[in-house]
Structures are given as structure tokens and as C-alpha cells.
């Protein structure tokens, strides 16, 4: 056999595949774990820079940096975000208390399509269950009963409706030591339908974990005198995480964690770690049932309006502050919204400010804008001017956050009589020359490259 057939793939090809795989995983992870945003940005940066090399020159041109494959993964990740938002709306009591999945430290996740193909799996699932890329349902080590139930659920994915289906609980056995677990340990998971705008729905399989109400730290402190550090350890203990893993996750010594657990046993009056975990679950239920007393600072929407503009566009507008307050038009960036904490709302009232927060096209409940990208700032500026007219606002300060600052300047240009002044927070300016990239910080360049060289509405 010729030598060249035996040669491995070029290093550049292997590294390119690895880079793409890591990027795809981080796309899903940021949808499921927003705190991993920095990891995503780092991998997106690598992807963008590699694609920039392919362009060969920093010039705007018709072909963008996106690929259909990456765009598809972003589409599925968007569905993950929407599902998470719907789940929060379906549980108002827990949501009011700011509940979140407890810090289990074990987070294997994978997606299955209606044919039984595992179309995506994160690194934790690969390590724990030995799943390979292009794995199928047959590769899952589950009981005959669970296999039958799972196949039945997959058949329902082809349905155009989203039926009210009971939770499907799966039990998988760990095959490789990882994530603080040993071979033979069991991980319980739940499978939920992930609705998509295009194509058949998918089944998202992820760990079955209890919700940790944000008021738990206050409840533990008020009732038992637990410190902040002890409350954090309690959160790890609630899904029965082992002290060794907790020590590693907190960058503490195992001896320190064990000492803190002993202190928690004394303060709560229980005799064993098992009793402590049982007590924590009872308290979690109590905190959910009495969320108003033990809630963390709530994040609340303001008054919502939908304005029908002359163009036919329905513009969502969120209003905060007293109706007679001094008007401030808030134009959001790429990653933020307009919801405020109660303390911020009270501050607006004390200072007599009225925030008017239109939602830009492609974000939240706003309609898409399929017009030319280069004309987007002018179109949004016209929408803002018309909305202000409908709301009776004659003059206002415009506050632009991040990418919103571009639209703040566009609004001032389109309606100079309306805009009394502009305030930019972490703002940017339109990209008109490649020389601007040299003056940017690393993070700014990543965002700017994406804005200038990708085909899409993101900015």
C-alpha cells in the first residue's frame, strides 16, 4: 500500500476539525450555561480569525464568514434558549425566587433526532458514557423498558404539534471515571422535546437536578447561621456531590471542605451527611413555597407596549419609571435586555426618569428586518422617532449600550430635534475602515469582525 495512504490527516486539518467541534460545543453550552460566555467568545475568536485568514484581506465582500453548518448549530442553540425561557415562564413561583439548577458539577447533555441519531453531545457525555460522534440510540446503555419508552418519544418528534408529554427519565451508567464519578455510578437524566423553527424537533437529554432557589443562602443564614461559603457548599451537596469534587470546584483543600461540612452538621443539628442532604431538599421545597420571603433581588419587566408603525412593523417597547418622568430612550446592545431589578426601578422613580426601551429587529419579540444591512441604523432610527411621536415624547436623552450606541447616533441624525443628548455605555461606532480594527481591544475586535464579516442580523 502506498505510504501516502497511511499518512494521517494534515495537522492543520485535524486542528481545524477540533476547533470547529469545540466551537459547536460552546455554542450549545452558552445556551444551556450562560456563565460560559467567555469560553464561547474565546472559541468564536479563534474561528473568526481562522476564517479571516481565508479571506486573505480585511475587506467587506459578499461572502461572509459563516458556514451553513455553524448557522444550523446557532439555530438549534436559539431553540435551547427559547425552551429555557418557556420553562421559566411555566414555573412562576420558582422563577420569582430566581431558581437555578443546583451546582451538580455533572452536566452531560446530548441531542437525539427522530431517527435515533445522536446529533450532538457535549464533552461530559462523551467522557462519562463513552459516546462517540455519530452515535445512535442503540449505543446507549439503557434498560429495555427505557429503550421502548425513548423510541416511542422519538417517533412523536415527527408530529407538527407539541403534545403534553410526561417527563421521560433515563438512567445511564458511567463507563469512564470523569466529572467526579467512577465507573458503575449511575446518572439520572431527563429527556425533553426541543422545538425548532425549521426541521423536525429534537430530544434534549440532560441531568435530572433539583432547582436551587436563590433564597436558599438567606434561609440557611437566617435559620442556622451558615456562612456564605457554607451555603455554597450546601448547594453542591444538594445533588449529592462528593467533597473531593467540591474542593476541586472551589479551589479549596479537601480538609477545608470537610471542616466546613462538619460545621454545617453542628449548626443544623443533623448527625450525618445523608441527613444534611435530606434537610437541604426539604428546605429547597420550603424556599420555593415561600419564595416571597426568601427571594433574591427580582428582575422584572416593565410596562409592555406594542406599537403599530406606519410601515406595518409592530414595535415592542418596554417602559420603566414614572409616566411623567424625564424621558430616556434606551437602545440595547447584542446581549442585554431592558428588564430591571426592583432597586433600579425605585432609583428611576426617585430621580424621576422614564425609560423608553424599544426592542430592535431580530431580538426578543421584535419582528425580523430583511432590508439591506447597511440601512439598518437608519430604519431603526425612523422607528424610534415614530414611536416617540406615538408616545407623546418631544425631547429625550438617548442611552446606547454597546451596539445600541450606533443606533443612538443614527437616531440623533434622523431626529435632531428629538435628541437632547447621547450617552454611550461601552459603546461603539460604525465600522467604515479596516484601520479601525487596529485601535480596538481584543474583545472589541472579535465583536467587530463578526459585525463586519458575517451575514446575519446579530448587530
**Cα 246 to Cα 189: distance, rounded to the nearest angstrom:** 21
pLDDT at 457: 41
Q: What is the pLDDT of residue 310?
A: 92
The arrangement of strands across the sheet holding 396-401 comes to 303-308, 314-320, 353-358, 326-331, 396-401, 419-425
pLDDT at 301: 63
What pLDDT shows up at residue 374?
82
Could you tell me the three cell numbers for 225? 447561621
What DSSP assignment string belongs to 213-262? -TTHHHHHHHHH---HHHHHHHHHHTTT--HHHHHHHTT--HHHHHHHHH
Q: Quote the DSSP letter at residue 118.
A: E
DSSP codes joined into one string, 46-66: HHHHHHHHHH-S----SS-S-
- Contacts with 320 (C-beta within 8 Å, 6 or more apart), sequence order: 302, 303, 338, 340, 344, 345, 348, 354, 355, 357
Assign a CATH topology to domain 299-428. Answer: Rossmann fold (3.40.50)
Within 8 A by CB and 6+ apart from 62, the residues are: none
Contacts of 325 (CB under 8 A, 6+ apart): 348, 349, 352, 353, 354
CA gap 137, 155 in Å, rounded = 13
Contacts made by residues 62-66, CB under 8 angstroms, sequence distance 24+: 64/453, 64/454, 64/455, 64/456, 65/449, 65/450, 65/453, 65/454, 66/454, 66/455, 66/456
Whole-number pLDDT of residue 358:
94
Residue 171, strand partner residues? 188
Question: Helical H runs in 103-253?
Answer: 123-129, 144-156, 216-224, 228-237, 243-249
Single out the residue of 385, 407, 401 nearest to residue 315, CA to CA: 385
pLDDT score recorded for residue 30: 61
Give residue 58's pLDDT.
42
Per-residue model confidence as pLDDT tens digits over 67-122? 555 555 555 555 555 444 444 433 332 333 345 555 555 678 888 888 898 888 88
Would you state the pLDDT for residue 85? Answer: 43
Q: 207: closest CA among 191, 195, 184?
A: 191
Distance between CA atoms of 193 and 202, rounded to whole angstroms?
6
Percent composition of the chain: helix, strand, coil (DSSP 3-state, to 5): 45, 15, 35
Instruction: Tell me the torsion sign for CA atoms 50, 51, 55, 57.
Output: negative
pLDDT one digit per residue (tens) for the chain, 459 residues: 333 333 344 444 445 566 666 666 666 666 556 666 666 667 777 776 666 665 554 444 444 444 555 555 555 555 555 444 444 433 332 333 345 555 555 678 888 888 898 888 887 888 899 988 778 999 998 999 999 999 988 888 876 565 667 779 999 999 988 767 789 988 889 998 876 544 567 888 988 877 788 788 888 988 999 988 898 899 989 887 888 888 888 888 888 899 999 999 999 999 999 899 999 989 998 888 775 555 444 445 678 888 999 998 999 999 998 889 999 999 998 766 777 777 788 888 899 999 999 999 888 778 888 888 889 899 999 999 999 999 999 999 999 998 898 899 999 999 999 999 999 987 766 667 777 777 777 667 776 766 666 544 443
Read off the pLDDT of residues 203-224 as tens digits, 9 standing for 90 and up. 889 888 777 887 888 889 889 9
* Sequence spans of domains, the chain: 3-96, 105-208, 212-294, 299-428
Classify domain 105-208 by CATH architecture: 2-Layer Sandwich (3.30)
Residue 158 has phi, psi (to 5 degrees) of -70, -15
Identify the CATH number of the domain defined by range 212-294: 1.10.10.10
Amino acid at each position: 500500500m502506498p505510504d501516502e495512504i497511511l499518512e494521517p490527516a494534515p495537522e492543520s486539518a485535524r486542528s481545524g476539525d477540533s476547533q470547529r467541534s469545540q466551537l459547536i460545543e460552546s455554542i450549545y453550552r452558552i445556551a444551556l450555561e450562560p456563565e460560559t460566555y467567555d469560553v464561547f467568545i474565546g472559541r468564536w475568536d479563534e474561528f473568526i480569525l481562522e476564517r479571516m485568514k481565508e479571506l486573505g484581506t480585511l475587506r467587506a465582500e459578499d461572502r461572509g464568514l459563516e458556514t451553513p453548518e455553524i448557522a444550523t448549530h446557532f439555530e438549534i442553540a436559539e431553540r435551547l434558549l427559547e425552551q429555557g425561557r418557556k420553562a421559566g415562564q411555566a414555573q412562576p413561583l420558582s422563577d420569582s425566587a430566581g431558581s437555578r439548577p443546583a451546582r451538580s458539577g455533572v452536566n452531560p447533555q446530548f441531542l437525539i433526532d427522530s431517527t435515533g441519531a445522536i446529533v450532538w453531545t457535549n464533552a461530559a457525555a462523551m467522557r462519562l458514557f463513552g459516546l462517540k460522534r455519530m452515535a445512535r440510540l442503540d449505543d446507549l446503555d439503557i434498560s429495555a423498558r427505557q429503550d421502548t419508552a425513548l423510541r416511542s418519544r422519538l417517533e412523536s418528534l415527527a408530529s407538527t404539534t407539541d403534545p403534553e408529554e410526561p417527563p421521560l427519565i433515563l438512567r445511564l451508567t458511567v463507563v469512564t471515571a470523569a466529572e467526579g464519578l467512577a465507573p458503575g455510578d449511575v446518572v439520572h437524566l431527563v429527556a425533553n422535546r426541543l422545538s425548532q423553527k425549521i426541521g423536525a424537533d429534537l430530544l434534549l437529554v440532560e441531568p435530572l437536578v433539583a432547582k436551587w432557589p436563590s433564597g436558599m443562602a438567606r434561609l440557611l443564614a437566617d435559620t442556622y447561621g451558615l456562612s456564605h461559603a457554607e451555603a455554597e457548599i450546601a448547594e453542591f451537596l444538594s445533588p449529592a456531590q462528593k467533597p473531593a469534587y467540591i474542593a476541586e470546584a472551589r479551589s479549596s483543600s479537601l480538609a477545608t471542605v470537610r471542616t466546613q461540612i462538619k460545621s454545617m452538621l453542628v449548626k443544623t443539628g443533623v448527625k450525618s451527611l445523608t441527613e444534611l442532604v435530606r434537610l437541604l431538599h426539604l428546605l429547597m421545597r420550603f424556599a420555593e413555597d415561600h419564595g416571597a420571603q426568601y427571594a433574591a433581588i427580582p428582575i422584572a419587566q416593565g410596562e409592555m407596549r406594542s406599537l403599530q408603525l406606519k410601515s406595518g412593523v409592530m414595535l415592542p417597547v418596554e417602559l420603566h419609571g414614572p409616566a411623567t418622568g424625564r424621558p430616556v430612550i434606551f437602545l440595547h446592545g447584542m446581549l442585554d435586555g431592558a428588564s430591571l431589578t426592583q432597586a433600579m426601578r425605585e432609583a428611576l422613580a426617585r430621580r424621576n426618569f422614564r425609560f423608553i426601551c424599544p426592542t430592535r429587529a431580530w431580538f426578543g419579540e421584535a419582528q425580523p428586518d430583511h432590508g439591506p444591512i447597511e440601512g439598518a441604523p437608519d430604519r431603526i432610527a425612523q422607528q424610534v422617532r415614530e414611536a416617540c411621536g406615538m408616545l407623546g415624547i418631544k425631547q429625550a436623552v438617548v442611552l446606547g449600550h454597546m451596539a445600541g450606541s450606533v443606533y443612538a447616533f443614527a437616531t440623533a441624525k434622523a431626529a435632531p430635534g428629538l435628541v437632547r443628548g447621547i450617552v454611550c455605555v461601552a459603546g461603539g461606532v460604525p465600522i467604515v475602515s479596516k484601520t479601525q480594527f487596529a485601535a480596538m481591544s481584543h474583545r472589541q475586535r472579535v465583536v467587530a469582525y463578526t459585525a463586519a464579516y458575517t451575514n446575519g442580523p446579530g448587530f
